[in-house]
Amino acid sequence: MTAAENRRRWWALMVLCLGVLMIVLDTTIVNVALPSIRTDLGFSETSLVWVVNAYMLTFGGFLLLGGRLGDLYGHRRLFLAGIVLFTVASLGCGLAQSQAMLIVARSVQGLGGAVVSAVALSLIMNLFPDAQGRAKAMGVYGFVCAAGGSIGVLLGGLLTGTMGWHWIFLVNLPIGAAVFVLCLMLIDAGTGQAGQKLDLGGAFTVTTALMLAVYAVVNGNQAGWTSTQTLGLLVSAAVLLAMFLFIESRAKSPLMPLSLFKLRNVATANVAGVLWAAAMFAWFFISALYMQLVLEYTPLQVGLAFLPANLIMAALSLGASAKIVMRYGFRLPLAAGLGLAAAGLALFARAPVDGTFIADVLPGMTLLGLGAGIALNPMLMSAMSDVDPADSGLASGVVNTSFMMGGALGLAVLASMAAARTEALQGAGAAQASALTGGYHLAFALGALFALAAAGLGAWFMRNATVRAGAPA
């Protein structure tokens, strides 16, 4: 590879990561603006959740299908289509003057975001077939994914406070346009799998199953976890998933070849990813609540409090993490990183009502930043390792689905348990701050157990192949 070709692929990586960052930012940047959206468009408490849920529903439902469509019809083509959908939908959100228009536009945003997320990882893996370059590229991608949430808090507060909530969506227009043009210039078109037909039965069953499961999870707190609605949706999703597996076992051209899960590292990374995402999503959400409601931080102070973790992740992801993977392979860095994350969550599980940033927030943030910076790279690489390039879009969709479903379920369950614990403490006569802190302690402790279980899976089941410089990954 010439120096010019090498520079071009690194510029292409930057463009892909910019597109992914636009998607990752969306969740937290919208959360910051929800109060302003509610006031401006007249949402009720119950209807406001659909500004978030409409996006989550289509995003979670179409990840697998989006990844497979990339394999069949070309990864760049699907990435560009996703960018267009997301950007146009962002315009619709920014111009929305009614609840219905905003919710519909958010649904389309979720569809575009799912397609971009599902194929971006496969594009990066194909750009960097050599192990050393791939390890560095995965570090950059992992940093973008991990840091996007905190950047969204800061950017959302800045845009909402100075220009109004419409601009959290309109800011995507120049970014989306730039990503589209630069992608055409820097990334080869590639080809799909000629002659392969889309498995329509598999596509329908798995997409519907995922959408039902996402709806049940995101609406579980409101409807009740043991309600007929929630249980009925989860059972329906399980039945459809069973039908999907049956169809895939007999289809000539399956949407998802089941042989993918016979690959040891792929299966282990996805299961560990579910557990880790459950812990990390809950950490981000509940630690923000702890700082706002107990320590009485402003939204801007909360965003700044996450900076140490992000800076540590940046330092590791953009250099050291790749070297660690090249030296030790997947298993040790994955287990060690997840173990550090579990220790960070355990520290948050003892944070007191009168806590201070230096003594009670910074140590946990530091360990979580170290853990995420070390673990994310080997987790992503192992989830895509040994996968045929023709199935790389599917593998990318699977790992993104694992993160999304694990994170949504973990957040819903741990937030519910924290709320129940808080209510019990208040009933026993505890002050509000003490009761809230007690609920958060329970959620952090359970999150630490999830991260520890993920570390154990990595240590026990991950195939410990070291990665050699210059070798295909």
- The answer to whether residue 209 is domain-embedded is no
Longest CA span, the chain = 70
Residue found by looking up tokens 């069953």 in the block:
205
What global pTM score does this model have? 0.78
Q: Is 304 exposed, middle or buried (0-12, 13-18, 19+ CB in 10 A)?
A: middle
CB atoms inside a 10 Å sphere around CB 224: 13
Q: Are residues 174 and 273 located together in one domain of the fold?
A: no
- The answer to whether residue 210 is domain-embedded is no
Predicted pLDDT at 207:
85
Predicted pLDDT at 469:
43
| Angle between helix 362-384 and 264-289 (nearest 10) | 150
Predicted pLDDT at 470:
43
Residue 54 CA neighbour count, 13 Å, CB half: 19
Domain boundary at 198, 218, 250, which? 198
Range of the domain at 49: 1-198
Predicted pLDDT at 464:
61
Q: Residue 374 is part of a domain; what is its CATH number?
A: 1.20.1250.20
Distance (Å, rounded) from C-alpha 121 to C-alpha 115? 11
- The answer to whether residue 246 is domain-embedded is no
Q: Are residues 287 and 423 located together in one domain of the fold?
A: yes
pLDDT tens for each residue of 149-182: 667 767 777 777 778 888 889 989 999 999 999 9
Q: Are residues 174 and 287 located together in one domain of the fold?
A: no
- The answer to whether residue 426 is domain-embedded is yes
Domain boundary at 198, 233, 252, which? 198
Q: Are residues 357 and 454 located together in one domain of the fold?
A: yes
Domain boundary at 152, 171, 198, which? 198
- The answer to whether residue 52 is domain-embedded is yes
- The answer to whether residue 69 is domain-embedded is yes
Q: Are residues 153 and 271 located together in one domain of the fold?
A: no
List the end-to-end C-alpha distance of the chain, in Å, as a whole number: 17
Report residues of the chain scoring pLDDT below 50: 468-473
Predicted pLDDT at 346:
95
Q: Are residues 282 and 184 located together in one domain of the fold?
A: no
Q: Are residues 337 and 435 located together in one domain of the fold?
A: yes
pLDDT tens for each residue of 339-394: 999 999 999 999 999 999 999 999 999 999 899 888 888 888 888 777 777 777 77
Distance (Å, rounded) from C-alpha 89 to C-alpha 94? 9
Q: What is the CA radius of gyration of the chain?
A: 21
Q: Are residues 422 and 273 located together in one domain of the fold?
A: yes
Residue found by looking up tokens 């707190």 in the block:
221
Domain count, the chain: 2
Q: Are residues 24 and 106 located together in one domain of the fold?
A: yes
- The answer to whether residue 394 is domain-embedded is yes
Q: Are residues 139 and 275 located together in one domain of the fold?
A: no
Q: Are residues 176 and 268 located together in one domain of the fold?
A: no
Q: Are residues 182 and 291 located together in one domain of the fold?
A: no
- The answer to whether residue 142 is domain-embedded is yes
User: Taking all residues of the chain, what is their mean pLDDT, rounded to a whole number?
Assistant: 84
